[in-house]
Structure 1
Amino acid sequence: MNMHKAIVDPEPVTVPVSLRDFRRLQWIKTSARFSIGLVWVWEGLIPKILHPSATQFEMVRRSGWWWGSPEQTLYWLGMAMILAGFGIMSGIWERAAALISTLAVLVLMVLVITSHPEALHDPFGGLVKDACLFNCAALVWWWPRLPASTKER
């Protein structure tokens, strides 16, 4: 017996959901999108602009991906993260924003781990947070959209 065929139904199933429940589920998707944006704003503002650490500067320096100085690059990275966070929270092009956010997190994760391997065992590090961001982005990406005919109601 092929377990794959026994477990996975090849035919998509449509489950009827009331408009009220669908709107409630849409609120969950919006909360996931807002959570992603909030993390981007927070990570740009606090550790990169308001309270940068020597470790942050050193990671930027070791990465080799800086312009001007590691301090200036960290500041402008923080500004870009804040703008991206607000863009994500706005809901404009939400699927594209979720995809770009996920790709950016992957790139930043590789840069952080290669320039600061201690981040792998840091209990306050970003790996666990990044897993949550990936799940929120997946929810935003795969969530069904509200049909145009019901938006006016």
Structure 2
Amino acid sequence: MKRKPIYVEIDMKTDMDKLWSLTQTPELHQQWDLRFSEIHYLPKVDAETQRFLYKTRIGFGLEVTGAGATKTVVHPKSGHRISVLRFGSDQRNSLIREGSGYWKYADGGQGILKFSTRYDYKTRFGMLGAWFDRLLFRPLFGVATAWSFDVLRLWAEKDIPPLVSIRNALIHALSVFMLVILWCYEGVVPKLLFPEAGELDLLRQSGWAEGVEGMVLVLLGIAEIGVGLLTLLFHKSRWWYRLVMLLLVILMLGALITEPQLMKAPFNPLTLSGSMIALCFTASLSAVDLPSAYRCVRRPASTDGPGLRSERI
């Protein structure tokens, strides 16, 4: 089965020495690269080749270990650098048997560096492993590489440590996820599935839609589902969160004015809207400097890096 190599490229406003240090120092590399949990350099046996050990924790107490070797090629005229490498694992539970690739550091002009990688690998477990790799593992591995490159960009450009970027992304993702779930739940369950549980009576008491309460409630439910889905679409927009917070305040006041007795309930419009407003505030604050795999180029302009074919480890 023909394999498609993974390619990722990103532009960074940084200098070569800083980027080289962040990517070639094991203690720094393992902080931003999701593919590796630990990297250890071994004592050099020659001046050109650097051998290393790596470990990747995949969860549930499972981990994959492997070894590799890297070699640097410098082009004095252009200032480009290429780090070629080979890697592999002898573990039987490792999908990756062996692979190779490169990192390329190129001067893009005007203080921009183009940092790119292209790598490929062979898999275990026969056709089953090949299909699993093609359909799931390789696409996810490519996205993880691209996302890691943007984490590196934030570190190189803005001095935002990877731990801060990763934590910020997790907080943002959780806040957005909960907002989407709550909006969709409020639209589906009390309005579309079980309107007689209280929402229909509340609308009748308001007198705002006399005679067509059922239809209005359905439209409100669809609208709330729409707000939830749009929150997923505009999750990086601070203006969207301001609009949603205003909408939550209006819905909360409308319910409490119509039925003040709702304040006595353990779960009332104030507690629900207040919690959702807090989630909006958290999502809005965490939407700044979020790493994103979409900032990376995933198709190479050429099929190979200069000098890659001639260099061997």
Structure 1 length as normaliser, TM-score? 0.76
Determine if the alignment matches structure 1 residue 45 to structure 2 residue 188: yes
Q: Which amino acid letter does the alignment assign opposite residue 63 of structure 1?
A: S
Provide the residue aligned with 2:255 in structure 1. Answer: 112
Determine if the alignment matches structure 1 residue 59 to structure 2 residue 202: yes
* Pairing partner for 1:132 from 248, 264, 275: 275
Provide the residue aligned with 1:87 in structure 2. Answer: 230
RMSD: 2.6
Q: Gaps (5+ residues) in structure 1? A: 1-14
- TM superposition shift of 1:100: 1.7
Provide the residue aligned with 2:304 in structure 1. Answer: none
Give the SS at the match of 1:123.
coil
Higher relative contact order (CA 8 A, sep 6+): 1
For 1:25 and 1:100, the matched residues in 2 are separated by 22
**How is 1:25-44 mapped onto 2 (pairs within 5 angstroms)?**
25-44=168-187
Distance 1:31 1:113, change over 3 A: same
Give the SS at the match of 1:65.
coil
Structure number with bigger Rg: 2
Provide the residue aligned with 1:10 in structure 2. Answer: none
- Greater per-residue helix proportion: 1
For 1:23 and 1:68, the matched residues in 2 are separated by 52
Provide the residue aligned with 1:145 in structure 2. Answer: 289
Q: Which amino acid letter does the alignment assign opposite residue 18 of structure 1?
A: P
Kept after mapping to 2: 8 A contact 1:44/1:78: yes
For 1:110 and 1:83, the matched residues in 2 are separated by 21
Kept after mapping to 2: 8 A contact 1:34/1:88: no
For 1:43 and 1:101, the matched residues in 2 are separated by 14
For 2:281 and 2:244, the matched residues in 1 are separated by 11
Deviations 1:26-81 (A, max 9, x none): 22112112211211100000000001126322221232433761111011100110
How many residues are paired up?
Answer: 138
Structure 2 length as normaliser, TM-score? 0.40
Q: Gaps (5+ residues) in structure 2? A: 1-157, 298-313
Kept after mapping to 1: 8 A contact 2:236/2:284: no
Distance 1:67 1:89, change over 3 A: farther
Give the SS at the match of 1:22.
helix
- TM superposition shift of 1:24: 2.6
Structure 1 stretch 50-59 or stretch 128-137: which is displaced more?
50-59
Give the SS at the match of 1:98.
helix
* Pairing partner for 2:240 from 93, 97, 100: 97
For 1:95 and 1:141, the matched residues in 2 are separated by 5
- TM superposition shift of 1:105: 0.8
- Greater per-residue strand proportion: 2
For 2:280 and 2:271, the matched residues in 1 are separated by 14
Q: Which amino acid letter does the alignment assign opposite residue 176 of structure 2?
A: R
Give the SS at the match of 2:195.
coil
